[in-house]
Structures are given as C-alpha cells and as structure tokens.
Amino acid sequence: MYKTISINISGIIFNVNEDAYEILKNYLDELHSHFSKTDEGKEVYADIESRIAEIFSEIITINNQVITIKDVNNLIETLGKPEDFFEEEIHEEDTYKKYKKNTKKKRLYRDTKDNMIAGVSSGLSYYFGIERVIFRIIFILLFAFGGSGLWIYIILWIAIPEARTRSQKLEMKGEPINISNIEENIKNEYEKVKKNIKNKNIEKEVKNFFEKIVHVITTVIKGIFKAFGKLIGLFFVIFGVAILSVIVGSYIFDNTLIQINDYGITTFSFTEALKLFTSSSNINYLIFSLLIIITIPILGVLYAGIKLLLNIKTSNRIIPLIGFIIWIFGIVIFTASSIDIGKNFTRGKSIETKTILKNNSDTIHFAKNSVTDSINGKNIIFSNDDDDFLITNNSVYISPSFSIIDSDSDSIIVKIKRKARGNNKNNAKQNLEKIIYNWNFNNDTLNFDSHLLINNEYRGQEIKIKIYKPKNITITGIDYDDFY
C-alpha cells in the first residue's frame, strides 16, 4: 500500500505517490526558483508545467491512476535536469566569467534543516561565518530588552527566503563575507558603472545631452547603491532598531515619555495626559493607531535595510501591500479618533454671574491667591511663559482674564463669565460646572484665585472677570500684567 498525494498541475489533478511527489517537488522548486525571476521566465515555467501535465495525462489510464517514481524519473529525463536548462543559459553570456561569479557569490537563506524557529540564526551564521548560538543569544537579548528582537526576527523571517534547492543550499554555505570581499564588490561595481556609461555613449540610444546626463546620474546612483548598499542598509537597520526599541519600550512602560523642562528631566504618562481631552476608550484607539502609523514605516525601513545589508533578492509584493493597507487603516482610525476629540469642542455655553459688593471704604485692595504653588513641578507637562496656561498629569490650570471698567453706579460690581464647550449644549453646561474657581470679598479686599482649575476633562473652559468701579473708589495692588 502506498500513500498518494493529490497535486494540481496546469489545472489538472494528478495522484502522485509520496516518494515520487518528493522528487517532483524538488525538481519543480529548482526550476521555479530559476525561472521565476523574470516575466519571460514565468511564461517558460508555465509552458513547462503545462507540458508536464500533458505527459502525465498520457500516462494515466483506467488501470493506472497513479504517477509513480518511475514516471517522474522518465519525465525528468525527457525534459532535462535543471543543470541542462541552466547550462544553456550560462552560455548566453560571457560563460566563464559568469560561472566564476556564480560560484563565488554567497546568498542569505534560512536554514530550515537546522532550525529552532525558522532557521534565521542558522542562515545568518552561514552568511557571516559566525557560530549560530551567538545570533540566537543576540535575538533573545534584544527580545528581553525592549522587545525589538521579536520584530527583527519576524522581518528576517519574511525577508529571507528558505534554502530549498540544492543550489540554494550551496549558495547559502558559500564563501564567507569579509572585508576583502566587500572591497572587491565595490571595485566590481565601479568598473561596471564605468563600462555602462561608456557603452551607452557609443550606442545611439542616448538621444540628447539631457538624456545623457540623466543616464549618467542614474547609473552612478545605482552603482553607489550597489557598492555601498551594505553600509546604507546597516544605517537603516540601526536607525530602525533604535526607534523601534524606544517605541516598544515606552509602550511597555505605560506610554511614559521623557521630557526636559525647568525641573530637569521628567517623565509623564502620555495616556494620562490625553485623558484630559477625550474618553479612555478613544485614547486606546488613538494610541493604537498612532503606534501603527509610526511603526509600519519604521518596519519598512528596517525591511529595506536588512535586504540591502544581506543582499537578499526577493520580490515579495504581498507583504508591503499588507503593510500599506494596515497603515491606511491606522490613519483612518487616527482621523476618526481626532474627529471624536474635536466633537467635544463643538458646542459652547457661557454663564455670567453678577455680584454687587457692599463697601464702606473708598480704597479697595486687589489680591490674587495662588493655586499653582502647591503643584509638584515634576508633574507639569506643559506651561506657557507666563504660567497662565498650565497642564499637569491630571489637571489644567488657566488664568482668568481681568478687566476694570469705570462706571457710574454707586457700588462695585463684579461680573464673572464662565465659558465651556462640549459635544452638545447639555454637555457644555456639565463641563462648565466642572470649573473650580473661588473668589471673595473680605475686609475691603477682593481675593481671586490665580487660576481656574479643571480636573479630568478640559473642554475649552475659561473665565472672564469684569470689575465695574465707581469713579470715587480706587483699587490698589493691581499688577497691570493681569489686565488689558
């Protein structure tokens, strides 16, 4: 009894014995990895598959339903071994040069024969000629501190192809990369660029001076990229890892950001600060989308850097596409959350109170009672120059505006106008009531809080204070900075 595997070649189903399947799969993999690099090659590969389907169709009869190992071997004999295909192609160009170059070149592959997870460390160890344990330790350390190791591992997993065919396995184990190889690489690219420019000048393809310049520039840039690609890649990778570590790290430590102010280096919680402006569920959306918007381009840079650094040649279009879609998704959520914050400020409400003071003296003292003195400086997230707008980790302090107006009335009148905003009239009114502000009149002295205080929800609250004074009364203690 044999186990058979059902396969689909060119739209036709065949049952293949397990051992025959292994050989056929290796054969097709090898052809595919060779041909799938160009559009022309893809067409050739499709033709070959369709021929295989035809040959197999001829084998199948009512009595013989299964493709055996013998059939597969016959097939390979008819079509030719992969080497036969490739030999033909090598002859195409400068045979010996190319042959030499091919055997020398080393490519990064994942080693799935000797793997812990996906064979990334093992593949890297072949590429750099360093023990694989070292890479594993690096990944674990990077994962433990900041978590970036996980991201890098996943990106490498996606970016690096698996060594499937014999030739890929050989490429994986080729000559180790060292300084003299890199030097040679740079020299080769320089020669190529020089040759390329010269050739193009001789050919009549280059029609005018402008085209010539563009051509020279692009050739040089391409050359630089190829020759110094590894350095640029290294820069990309370092940059990506650094930013990722900061992001992941700060997310792990409760969104704590570091800021530098008059009180030295302090930290504050990003989510706590946001609670002043929106609901906590919206904060989650906001942070989540912000994380996507920032992280995806950085992952992209990291991906590009790793590809440049390790000379990986894969044209995977699906992963960048998925990344882009997620990124757009992040922007949509971010926009919606921002609009949600904006909605909290759409409707305004104001209430004015009028108090007539009874005084006997003709001199009145104006005094301000500081409410910000008790704030621990380390909790201040934002303050403007005059400290008349101040945000701490859970409150907002705002100076009211004062004005003194001469009036014809007999006594002093204090008008206090409170304003607030909200997503509807009712909500604006609720927000208005959240203003904490005290003042009083005692012993000929007007005592005003220096700031109005809002705990939890800031919705554009403000206070305007107007003092109407009869002409015969003087007010002392006025700091004219407070008035306009």
* Interface residues toward another protein, by CB under 8 A: 10-12, 35, 40-41, 43-44, 47-48, 50-51, 53-54, 56-58, 77-81, 84-85, 87-91, 95, 99
10 or 181, CB closer to another protein?
A: 10
Nearer to another protein, 51 or 169 (CB): 51
Give the residue with the Cβ less far from another protein, 84 or 410. Answer: 84
Least distance CB 309 / another protein (angstroms): 33
Angle 289-292-293 (CA atoms, 0-180°, nearest 5)?
85
- d(CA 98, CA 104) in angstroms, rounded, equals 10
- Counted residue by residue, the chain has a size of 484
Q: Minimum distance between the CB of residue 82 and another protein, rounded to whole angstroms?
A: 8
Q: Please name which of 200, 184, 159 lies closest in space to residue 309, comparing C-alpha atoms.
A: 159
Cβ nearer to another protein, comparing 43 with 433 = 43
Cα distances from 468 to residues 358, 412, 435, 460, 484, in angstroms, run 13, 6, 23, 26, 14
Q: How far is the CB of 53 from another protein (least distance, A)?
A: 5
C-alpha span between 435 and 432 (Å, rounded): 6
Nearest by Cα to 12 from 51, 45, 69 = 51
At 80, list the tokens: 């030719």
| 467, burial (CB in 10 Å: exposed 0-12, middle 13-18, buried 19+) | buried
Q: Residue type for 369, please? A: N
Side-by-side strand order, sheet with 363-369: 439-442, 445-449, 363-369, 474-476
Q: How far is the CB of 22 from another protein (least distance, A)?
A: 20
Q: Which is nearer to another protein, 54 or 386 (CB)?
A: 54
Q: How far is the CB of 80 from another protein (least distance, A)?
A: 3
DSSP characters for 274-308? HTTTS-HHHHHHHHHHHHHHHHHHHHHHHHHHHHH
Closest CA to 446 of 361, 350, 375, 351: 361
Minimum separation from the CB atom of position 7 to another protein (A) = 14
Nearer to another protein, 35 or 126 (CB): 35
- Comparing CA positions, the residue from 413, 457, 467 lying closest to residue 435 is 457
CB of 6 to another protein, least distance (A): 17
Name residues whose C-beta falls within 8 Å of residue 480's C-beta, 6 or more positions apart in sequence.
Answer: none
Least distance from another protein to the Cβ atom of residue 34, Å: 10
| Min dist. Cβ of residue 219 to another protein (A) | 25
What gap in Å lies between CA 217 and CA 223, rounded to an integer?
Answer: 10
Cβ(42)–Cβ(35) below 8 Å: yes
Q: Would you say 34 or 365 has its CB closer to another protein?
A: 34
Of the CA atoms within 13 Å of residue 162, those in its CB half-sphere come to 10
Nearest to 148, CA basis, from 236, 248, 255: 248
Let me know: does 48 contact 84? Beta carbons within 8 Å. no
Least distance (Å) between residue 67 CB and another protein: 13
Residue with smaller CB distance to another protein, 56 or 303: 56
Smallest distance from another protein to CB 94, Å: 11
